[in-house]
Homo-oligomer: A and B are copies of this chain.
Amino acid sequence: MSSASESLQPLSVSLSPQERFEEYLQTRGLRQTSQRKFLIDAVFSEHDHFDADELIDRLPRRGQENYVSSATVYRTLREFVDAGLLKSFQLDGRTVYELDYGYPAHDHLYCTRCRKLIEFQSEPLVQIRDEVAAEMGFRVSGHRMIVQGVCKDCGKARRKKRKQDLV
């Protein structure tokens, strides 16, 4: 039995993302800046997948309060990944980010119709991964799996549409 679920539960963590990042910065002699504080809030207020462009879109524009240049957004996203706050992966040519800190490991179903990413967890999947790797003398550090197809909603919509077409 696989442990798929519609929405994943956050893990309980002792430090907030902000605190965690502060720690990360301090141990490396890096600095707290208003941009970094603002970005961490922006990123952790949305519990969804996003790419740099989407993030920039919902940030203040040039000239407005709290504007952050795209260069800094790109730079900071990479820092968040280094700090273990975010995970990133490639999808359709661009880099997609998602929460990592305080969030359980999981994989994705990708609906090619509505381009939605749906999360799932499967312990057996990880077991098989490790078995295969062990057989081949490969030391696993992680993996990325994306299942393409059509999600429930789009499947429904499609069937409905077909019925209408017949009328």
Contact = CB atoms under 8 A, between A and B. Distances in A.
A149 B140 contact: yes
Contacts of A112: 141
Each complex incorporates copies of this chain amounting to: 2
A155 B139 contact: yes
A52 interface: no
B132 A4 contact: yes
A73 interface: no
Contacts of A151: 136-138
Interface string A64-107: 00000000000000000000000000111101000000000000
Contacts of A118: 136, 138
Nearest to A153: B137
A133 B109 contact: yes
Given A4-B135, A120-B136, A135-B4, A148 B143 contact: yes
A131 interface: yes
Given A147-B133, A149-B133, A128 B122 contact: yes
Contacts of A145: 129, 143-146
Interface in A106-128: 109, 111-112, 118, 120, 122, 124-125, 128
* 6 nearest A-B pairs in the assembled complex, by CB-CB distance: A137-B152, A145-B145, A90-B90, A140-B149, A143-B147, A4-B132
